[in-house]
Structure 1
Amino acid sequence: MGTWDIGHFDNDTAADFSGTLKDTAPGERAGLLRAVLETAAGSTDYLDDYEGAQAVAAAALVAAQCPGGTPVTTAYGPGEAIPELPAELRALAVAALDRVVAEDSELAELWGEGGEGGAWEQGIRALRQVLAQAG
């Protein structure tokens, strides 16, 4: 996975996911986010970095609509406003983030090996906190 910073969209996979989201009809975007979050949250095997990075990006978009959430303003984000998302995606996003930082997650492993795992994980914890509080 190509990365250039620790932000939720600062990698090739998340940027590509943003493009896919942009190409998806507005009424189907919540379903796409749900599918990505369900894939990560429901994984019982080793979670690969591709699925993890998509889940983090999806969770960031859900969190952006929560009270206290940070808007996604990066050039690598979707570029268009995301329609109002169902509130039940918040708990699913929390479960997906918990899975992304678990021991058997390639994304967590790669960040840990890269030396910036602490800063990356702090960003994940901040997203999780917003989502959990909005629950």
Structure 2
Amino acid sequence: MGTWDIGPFDNDTAADFCGDLDEAPAGRREGIIRDALTRVIGAAGCLEAPESEEAVAAAALVAAQCPGGEPAHPVYGPEEPLPDLTGLRDLALRALDRVVTDPSELMDLWTESDGGPWQAAIDRLRNTLLPRPPGERLPLG
């Protein structure tokens, strides 16, 4: 099926990644997420779409545990519990920055097909992952 929507879990690669998380022992899940994020940060040359899709899903799992974060997709996200991932916020931000920096196959694919909504979804993830100053309140509704 490939990609069916703009969300971080709305593609086969991300759904498979979440399935792999579910099959992994509980103690390995954070490492799998960390690896998906670091793999794209360190990528030289053109970043391939599958690695980017995994990194976006991993970043979304981190963001889901942050204040204001949206939960993982109820069907395509992981079903098994995840450890506290909030310590990976900076890594997730850096991974998202790399996904939207040339050369990036996923960014190119979305740019070719009106990537505005996809870019807005990435921006929402980034905003959720950004640390908030002490005492700052999230907007209501």
List, as ranges, runs of 4+ consecutive aligned residues in structure 1 with deviation greater than 2 Å.
Answer: none
Name the structure 2 match of 1:62.
62
- Name which one, 1 or 2, has greater alpha-carbon Rg: 2
Q: Is the 8 A contact 1:59 1:127 kept in 2?
A: yes
Q: Is the 8 A contact 1:67 1:134 kept in 2?
A: no
Alignment of 1:1-135 (within 5 A): 2-85=2-85, 87=87, 89-115=88-114, 117-133=115-131
121-130 vs 76-85, which moves further: 76-85
- Separation in structure 2 between the aligned mates of residue 19 and residue 134 of structure 1, nearest angstrom: 31
Q: What's the % identity of the aligned pairs?
A: 53
Structure 1: gaps (5+ residues): none
Q: Is the 8 A contact 2:65 2:86 kept in 1?
A: no
Task: Give the TM-score, by structure 2 length.
Answer: 0.89
Report the residue type matching 2:121 in the other structure: G
**RMSD value over aligned CA atoms?**
1.5
Report the residue type matching 1:114 in the other structure: S
Structure 2: gaps (5+ residues): 134-141
Q: CA deviation at 1:134?
A: 5.1
Q: Is the 8 A contact 1:4 1:10 kept in 2?
A: yes
Report the residue type matching 1:112 in the other structure: T
Q: CA deviation at 1:57?
A: 0.1
Report the residue type matching 1:84 in the other structure: D
Task: Give the TM-score, by structure 1 length.
Answer: 0.93
Q: Is the 8 A contact 1:59 1:93 kept in 2?
A: yes
User: How many residues end up aligned between the 2 structures?
Assistant: 133
